[in-house]
Amino acid sequence: MIVKSLQVQNFRNFEFQEFTFSPGVNILLGDNAQGKTNIIEALWLFAACKSFRVTDDKPFLRIGQSRAAIYGEYERNGRIYRPVMKFYEEKSREIFLNNVAVRPREIVGQFPTVLFYPDHLSLIKGSPELRRKFLDLALCQTDPSMLPMLNEYNKVHQQRNSLLKQYRERIDAKDALDIWDERIASLSARIAQKRYEFIAKITPYAQKVMSEISGGREKLDLSYKTVCNMPARSGEDLEDQFFYALKQNRERDIYSGHTSTGVHRDDFEIYVNGENAKIYASQGQQRSCVMALKMGEADLLREATGEYPVMLFDDVFSELDPYRRNYIIERIHGRQVILSCCEDTGDFADAKIFRIQGGEVK
């Protein structure tokens, strides 16, 4: 699969610009704050329907404008697909695929893409939220049921938190909380199971990359962590475990006004040669782990879809030492890559270069 072109209108700092991409390496070149990441973000929106920078659509609108739009053209299995997203100041976004209005869950996963951006370099020692985000965004591209499930979980989680804050004023609070506990337990069991299975699938791919980077000296292992025992004997068993944990922590939750149990608190741990990478890994080992996860994600997407995903690298090459940078260059040979950087290092001799300045290609 390749992205053939992208057109942006009043998107971020771009008034109007069209990009026609090479099927090989494409470099978005320019100083900071010129618009390079905005193009990476637009392409990622077609893949995930979510930004990796903001949580709402307002920042997409160019200053002084009430509407913005991005238009893509992709080729997949010999067919052309044209996704469109339109953003508004006063109403929700609109999404179209080949001139037909679609919902987010109908487009997520249609254009497999792997994103590598600066925050990922903190994946090992960063917060659990960053690791959960990595898991869920990767899963959404391979499992169509994941996005609506996560959206429903977030709504139920918010509703339960709202009830906890009003608990002592509501006569029906206990019965209502029982209902929300059942829904959170059910959704948590389904999401946790899918995350656990994803970790099991990506591990051998990531291990291969880690072994190649280290010359066979380092073994990578991944372990999903939740309040329940994984793997569960059955889905019902896992749901019961979540429900019991919610009951056990109910008084604490009422006191704090927040839900302390559920997949919004889960995490996964990374080990190098049996030692927890968050505690013991050197900076170089941490970056190797991140590369292994991202390259493993790409390999897993290829297995799931039958095609290489588009690779997006946002200002990360300058953060990698020459050895790891060269490894990535070799690993992505023959794939479509779109990367942003501040200076041309000469790593890609045949790359198509877009020089971006002030929201324009010069």
320: helix, strand or coil:
coil
Can you spell out the DSSP letters for 192-233?
HHHHHHHHHHHHHHHHHHHHHHHTT---EEEEEE-SS-SS-S
For residues 103 and 199, membership in a common domain is answered with no
Statement: residue 345 has pLDDT above 80: no
Q: Tell which residue, 345, 339, 330, 301, has the closest CA to residue 137.
A: 301
For residue 99, give both structure tokens. 């001139």
Name which residue leads in pLDDT, 272 or 347: 272
- 130 CB-contact burial (10 Å; exposed 0-12 / middle 13-18 / buried 19+): middle
pLDDT of the residue at 319: 80
- The domain spanning residue 69 has which CATH number? 3.40.50.300
32: helix, strand or coil:
coil
Band (pLDDT 50/70/90 cuts) for residue 324 is confident
**pLDDT per residue over 35-54, tens digit each?**
999 999 999 999 999 999 99
For residues 138 and 287, membership in a common domain is answered with yes
* For range 280-308, the mean pLDDT: 92
For residues 10 and 107, membership in a common domain is answered with yes
Omega before 104 cis (within 30°)? no
Distance of CA 191 to the CA centre of its chain: 15
Residue 224 makes CB contacts below 8 A (sequence gap 6+) with: 192, 195, 196, 199, 230, 266, 267, 268
For residues 74 and 188, membership in a common domain is answered with no
- The domain spanning residue 173 has which CATH number? 1.20.1050.90
For residues 293 and 311, membership in a common domain is answered with no
pLDDT of the residue at 362: 81
Record the pTM.
0.91
For residues 154 and 273, membership in a common domain is answered with yes
Range of the domain at 257: 121-305
For residue 51, give both structure tokens. 């930004």
pLDDT of the residue at 350: 86
Name which residue leads in pLDDT, 8 or 234: 8
Statement: residue 232 has pLDDT above 80: no
Beta strands 25-29 and 79-81 are: unpaired
**pLDDT per residue over 103-119, tens digit each?**
998 999 899 999 999 88
For residues 337 and 285, membership in a common domain is answered with no
pLDDT of the residue at 331: 87
For residues 219 and 273, membership in a common domain is answered with yes
Band (pLDDT 50/70/90 cuts) for residue 259 is very high
The total number of structural domains in the chain stands at: 2
For residues 136 and 282, membership in a common domain is answered with yes
Min mean pLDDT across 67-76, 113-122, 188-197, 202-211 is at 113-122
Band (pLDDT 50/70/90 cuts) for residue 239 is very high
